Chains A and B, each alone.
Chain A
Amino acid sequence: GAVVSQHPSWVICKSGTSVKIECRSLDFQATTMFWYRQFPKQSLMLMATSNEGSKATYEQGVEKDKFLINHASLTLSTLTVTSAHPEDSSFYICSARVAGKTYEQYFGPGTRLTVT
């Protein structure tokens, strides 16, 4: 089956630093990837849609200058949390939509970010 990986799986960083999270589709091409954030004991909230070769589309209330998304290839999207603060601590999950398949979407294992 289709596999999506994320790296790192967990990261601790100091307040004010930036952290990059990678999302890769390992055995398929993904023209579109999605980034979600999940706070403890809450549901997933879509942050942005990442399209290969174009600018990401951010959901209302998500700061695009703080959460930089780059989708440089059909298998890789990156999310950079800039100037991280403790309130950015969360579980970040990406998903990838299989190119050409209208409804199949696969989730990565998630990245737990803790900002101290």
Chain B
Amino acid sequence: ELKVEQNPLFLSMQEGKNYTIYCNYSTTSDRLYWYRQDPGKSLESLFVLLSNGAVKQEGRLMASLDTKARLSTLHITAAVHDLSATYFCAGNAGGTSYGKLTFGQGTILTVHP
């Protein structure tokens, strides 16, 4: 059974600083997803990482995947207040669980001026 763990669960950052959110998963995952959720809203897709060594960047966010270490990271560069949200990673075990996503606990990010 795929398990996904994120850390930290809470992250308070100052604007302009850099930080990384870590996502560990327990068994093979076909792919790794990162989502953003604002309060009271649904999920916004950020990245889909499909293979070992994959790196994707969008604005101040960069995600990477190391399938050998079963680790994905979401790096935040020069944080701004607009990035405040909850960030989830999710994996997919594949096989008979194809398409089913297992989510991490979420990381609540707060960016302070």
Contact = CB atoms under 8 A, between A and B. Distances in A.
A40 to B, nearest CB: 10
A49 B99 contact: yes
Contact of B100 (A34, A104, A108): A34
B25 interface: no
Interface string A84-107: 000000000101010000011111
Interface in A57-116: 93, 95, 97, 103-110, 112
Interface residues of B, number: 22
Interface string B73-110: 00000000000000010101000000111111110000
A46 interface: yes
Contacts of A107: 35, 42-43, 45
Contact of A44 (B41, B50, B103): B103
Main DSSP-derived SS at the A contact region: strand
The number of chain A residues touching the other chain, given as a range, is 20 to 34
Given A103-B31, A103-B48, A103-B50, A46 B42 contact: no
A110 B48 CA distance: 21
A43 B105 CA distance: 5
A95 B33 CA distance: 14
A44 B88 contact: yes
Interface in A2-57: 32, 34, 42-46, 49
A46 B43 contact: no
Contact of A34 (B33, B45, B99, B106): B99
Interface of A: 32, 34, 42-46, 49, 93, 95, 97, 103-110, 112
Interface of B: 30-31, 33, 35, 40-43, 45, 48, 50, 88, 90, 92, 99-106
13 contacts: A32-B99, A34-B101, A44-B90, A45-B103, A49-B99, A49-B100, A93-B42, A95-B101, A103-B31, A104-B48, A105-B99, A105-B101, A108-B42
Given A44-B103, A97-B99, 19 more contacts: A34-B101, A43-B104, A44-B88, A44-B90, A44-B101, A45-B103, A46-B100, A49-B100, A93-B42, A93-B43, A95-B101, A103-B30, A103-B50, A103-B92, A104-B48, A107-B42, A107-B43, A108-B42, A109-B42
